[in-house]
Structure 1
Amino acid sequence: MAPEDSAEAAPLLRSFERRFLAARALSSFPWQSLEEKLRDSSGSELLLDILQKTVKHPLCMKHPPSVKYAWSFLSELIRKPSGDSITLCESTAIISHGTTGLVTWNAALYLAEWAMENPAGFAHRTVLELGSGAGLTGLAICKMCRPRAYVFSDYHSHVLEQLQGNVLLNGLSLEPNVAALAQHPEHDTADAESPRVMVARVDWDVVTVPQLAAFQPDIVIAADVLYCPETVLSLVGVLQKLSACQKDQRVPDAYVAFTIRNPETCQLFTTELGRAGIPWEEVPRHDQKLFPYEEHSEMAILKLML
Structure 2
Amino acid sequence: MAPEESAGTAHLLRSFEHRYLAARALRSFPWQSLEEKLRDSSDSELLLGILQKTVKHPLCVKHPPSVKYARCFLSELIKKPSGDSVTLSESTAIISHGTTGLVTWDAALYLAEWAIENPAAFAHRTVLELGSGAGFTGLAICKTCHPRAYIFSDCHSHVLEQLQGNVLLNGFSFEPDITANSGSPTVMLAQLDWDDVTVPQLSAFQSDVVIAADVLYCPEIILSLVRVLQRLSACRKDQRAPDAYVAFTIRNPETCQLFTTELGQAGIRWEAVPCHDQKLFPYQEHSEMAILKLTL
The residue number in structure 2 matching 1:181 is: 178
Alignment CA distance shift 1:49-1:206 (3 Å): same
1:11 aligns with 2:15: no
Partner SS state of residue 16, structure 1? helix
Moved more, 127-136 or 65-74: 65-74
Distance apart, 1:68 and its partner CA: 3.2
In structure 2, what is the Cα distance between the partners aligned to 1:42 and 1:50? 14
Deviation at residue 57 of structure 1 after TM alignment: 3.4
Corresponding residue number in structure 2 for 1:278: 268
- CA-atom RMSD in angstroms: 1.8
Provide Cα deviations, 1:227-258, integer angstroms capped at 9, x if missing partner.
11110000000000011122872000000011
Equivalent position amino acid for 1:221 in 2: I
* Residue pairs, 1:223-242, within 5 angstroms: 223-242=213-232
| Distance verdict in 2 for CA 1:68–1:294, change over 3 Å | farther
Q: 1:49 offset after TM fit, Å? A: 2.9
TM norm structure 2 = 0.94
Identical pairs, percent = 82
Quick one: distance in 1 between partners of 2:124 and 2:198? 26
Distance 1:209 1:70, change over 3 A: same
| CA distance in 1 between partners of 2:286 and 2:44 (Å) | 25
Q: Is the 8 A contact 1:74 1:290 kept in 2?
A: no
Of 252, 257, 262, 1:267 maps to 257
Q: Secondary structure at the match of 1:258?
A: strand
Q: Conserved in 1, the CA contact under 8 Å of 2:42 and 2:81? A: no
> AA paired with 1:80?
K
Q: Is the 8 A contact 2:44 2:279 kept in 1?
A: no
Match 1:249 to one of 233, 236, 239: 239
For structure 2, list consecutive stretches of 5 or more residues without a partner in the other structure: none
User: Cα deviation per residue 1:125-145 (whole Å; 9 max; x = unaligned)?
Assistant: 110000000000000000011
Give unmatched runs, 5+ long, in structure 1. none
Q: CA deviation at 1:34?
A: 1.9
Q: Is the 8 A contact 1:132 1:138 kept in 2?
A: yes
Matched-pair contact (CA < 8 Å) for 1:217–1:247:
no
Question: Could you tell me how far apart the structure 2 residues matched to 1:247 and 1:2 are?
Answer: 56
User: Does 1:111 find its partner at 2:111?
Assistant: yes
**Equivalent residue, structure 1, for 2:191:** 201
Give the Å deviation of 1:153. 0.3
Number of aligned residue pairs:
296
User: What CA distance in whole angstroms lies between the structure 2 residues aligned with 1:244 and 1:43?
Assistant: 42
TM-score by length of 1: 0.91
